[in-house]
């Protein structure tokens, strides 16, 4: 059946390329039903068709005579996204002017929108209205978790000149420059705030400037999707994710939360774990366990896998939880298992204590693993204490190499009664443990010592290329700090993992003065034999 599905998909895709744009769409519609759920994974050869499915969620906006467009992104709470300059008159005012909006399908029914001065980023802003019977049939637009590749065909839409009739056009997205991209398409006054739609019907950008004829400027949604996340309590997000998992109805937007969110392959390390889970009762956690285990065994999962979506986290975590009596036991087993070196790269989580393992591994099942608060690089050094909800492992690494003094003295970022220095210490012990655990032969690891030092707390990306590149970065960081033993072991590990470049050998030389007279080939032979990795080196790495 699985092979048949692939053959059908290939044939229909080929047909669509030679003039049957209905082919992929028809296949997607045919493929929705599954024995234990539905997978809404609908791709259209023409983004216009995708736009028609979601355009009921677009609305006209009026404020002090200014006109613009917005679109619904949360139907339960009434949140609307638009361009910031559309509501410029309301920004920074204590008594903002009246903002009204009307949806496309009922152009004469205007309702009041409110604006929050804190709900803005770049050139986008968040508005809100009280959902009512008039809005219950409106379809929300989902935000994409990916940057649109240059050349992607997209559709744009808006209410030109405030006319109740929606106008639209298609064009191709340019490269991202200065947190914006361009679409060669016609826009008019009133289109600002309208969505840029891709072939999946997802919003990849918001029109922020259409003054230049034939060119629309847009901000990518990945730059500001945190606006909505900040408005939804973590406990509520967790429960909504549980509901999605239990229903077995997955959208592409939801599935994409299992994928890396950065083009360079770096994964997020979510430090908002405890907040997400503490509000859930034990019964809720058990239910989430059962629902997720059921979901990943569905044909919906196999269908997603056929489409090359990564469910590495699901494949790893679900069996672990099924095997052990508690998530904490599963996490402990995972800690001492080679599984973390091969499968968990795309749902990498971070925490500061081993006793948070339960929260960390539940988090891998939840949607919205999102940079909902400032990253460390955005927030430090801060003029006032800032709560960090999500950080990137890359940020912790950069702080170790580029700004250790600033990070440890000027940056006060409280998280679970700890500050940045504690997070860096946890990350440092974790990365050394990861280096040690990747060595051949693997050194003896004192698991109890690892638990006490929180070494499990910041697992690095484990995709072979990404993992090896991170190890190279660690080697460079160690060289900067003149920690030659760690650097030597790191570059040797990178070489053994398959990153066999002149850069690795050159840095290995720099970290190994006693081998500085060797040729590169001799150094490679030394690395391959692992004789240069002394027992003292390994003890340092495993410490």
- In whole angstroms, what is the distance from residue 71 CA to residue 356 CA? 38
The region that residue 240 occupies, defined by phi over 0 for left and psi between -120 and 50 for alpha, beta otherwise, is: alpha
Q: Which of 257, 243, 14 is nearest to 145 (CA)?
A: 257
Residue extents of the structural domains in the chain: 2-46, 47-228, 232-457, 464-542
Residue 195 has pLDDT above 80, yes or no: yes
Question: Using one digit for the tens of pLDDT, what is the confidence trace for 353-364?
Answer: 222 333 333 333
E strand intervals along 350-495 = 390-392
- In whole angstroms, what is the distance from residue 213 CA to residue 536 CA? 67
What would the mean pLDDT of 127-143 be, rounded to a whole number? 82
| Confidence band of 526 (pLDDT split at 50, 70, 90) | low
Give me the pLDDT at residue 110, please.
84
CATH code of the domain occupying 47-228: 2.40.10.120
Residue 205 has pLDDT above 70, yes or no: yes
What would the mean pLDDT of 98-124 be, rounded to a whole number? 79
Burial class (CB in 10 A: 0-12, 13-18, 19+), 136: exposed
| Confidence band of 117 (pLDDT split at 50, 70, 90) | low
Taking a C-beta distance cutoff of 8 angstroms, is the pair 178, 127 a contact? no
Give me the pLDDT at residue 264, please.
32
Question: Using one digit for the tens of pLDDT, what is the confidence trace for 317-346?
Answer: 434 444 444 444 544 444 433 233 222 322
What would the mean pLDDT of 438-444 be, rounded to a whole number? 37
């Amino acid at each position: 059946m699985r092979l048949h599905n692939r053959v059908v998909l290939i044939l229909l895709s080929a047909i669509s390329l030679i003039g049957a744009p209905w082919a992929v769409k028809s296949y997607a519609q045919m493929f929705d039903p599954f024995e234990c759920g539905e997978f809404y994974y609908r791709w259209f050869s023409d983004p216009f068709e995708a736009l028609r499915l979601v355009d009921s969620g677009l609305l006209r906006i009026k404020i002090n005579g200014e006109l613009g467009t917005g679109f619904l992104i949360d139907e339960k709470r009434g949140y609307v996204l638009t361009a910031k300059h559309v509501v410029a008159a309301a920004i920074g005012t204590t008594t903002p002017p009246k903002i009204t909006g009307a949806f496309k399908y009922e152009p004469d029914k205007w309702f009041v929108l409110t604006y929050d001065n804190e709900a803005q980023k770049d050139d986008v802003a968040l508005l809100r209205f009280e959902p009512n019977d008039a809005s219950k049939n409106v379809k929300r637009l989902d935000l994409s978790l990916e940057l649109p590749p240059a050349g992607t065909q997209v559709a744009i839409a808006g209410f030109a000149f405030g006319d109740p009739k929606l106008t639209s056009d298609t064009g191709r997205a340019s490269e991202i420059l200065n947190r914006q991209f361009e679409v060669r398409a016609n826009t008019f006054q009133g289109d600002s705030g309208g969505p840029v739609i891709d072939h999946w019907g997802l919003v990849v950008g918001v029109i922020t400037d259409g003054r230049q004829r034939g060119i629309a400027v847009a901000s990518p949604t990945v730059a500001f999707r945190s606006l909505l996340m900040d408005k939804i309590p973590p406990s509520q997000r967790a429960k909504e994710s549980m509901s999605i998992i239990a229903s077995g109805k997955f959208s592409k937007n939801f599935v994409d939360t299992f994928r890396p969110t950065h083009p360079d392959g770096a994964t997020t390390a979510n430090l908002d774990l405890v907040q997400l889970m503490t509000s859930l009762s034990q019964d809720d956690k058990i239910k989430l366990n059962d629902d997720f285990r059921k979901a990943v065994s569905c044909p919906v999962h196999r269908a997603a896998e056929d489409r090359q979506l990564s469910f590495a986290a699901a494949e790893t975590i679900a069996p672990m939880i099924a095997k052990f009596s508690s998530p904490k036991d599963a996490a402990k087993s995972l800690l001492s298992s080679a599984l973390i070196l091969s499968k968990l790269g795309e749902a990498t989580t971070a925490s500061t204590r081993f006793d948070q393992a339960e929260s960390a591994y539940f988090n891998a099942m939840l949607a919205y693993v999102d940079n909902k608060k400032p990253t460390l690089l955005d927030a430090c050094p801060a003029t006032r204490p800032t709560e960090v909800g999500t950080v990137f492992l890359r940020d912790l690494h950069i702080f170790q190499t580029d700004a250790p003094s600033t990070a440890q003295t000027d940056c006060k970022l409280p998280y679970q009664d700890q500050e940045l220095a504690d997070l860096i210490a946890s990350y440092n012990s974790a990365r050394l443990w990861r280096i040690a655990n990747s060595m051949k032969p693997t050194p003896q690891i004192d698991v109890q010592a690892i638990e006490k030092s929180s070494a499990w707390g910041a697992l690095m990306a484990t995709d072979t290329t990404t993992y090896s590149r991170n190890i190279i970065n660690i080697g460079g960081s160690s060289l900067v700090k003149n920690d030659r033993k760690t650097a030597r072991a790191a570059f040797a590990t990178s070489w053994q993992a398959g990153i066999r470049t002149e850069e690795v050998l050159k840095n290995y030389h720099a970290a190994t003065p006693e081998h500085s007279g060797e040729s590169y080939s001799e150094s490679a032979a030394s690395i391959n034999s692992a004789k240069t990795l002394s027992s003292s080196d390994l003890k340092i790495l495993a410490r």
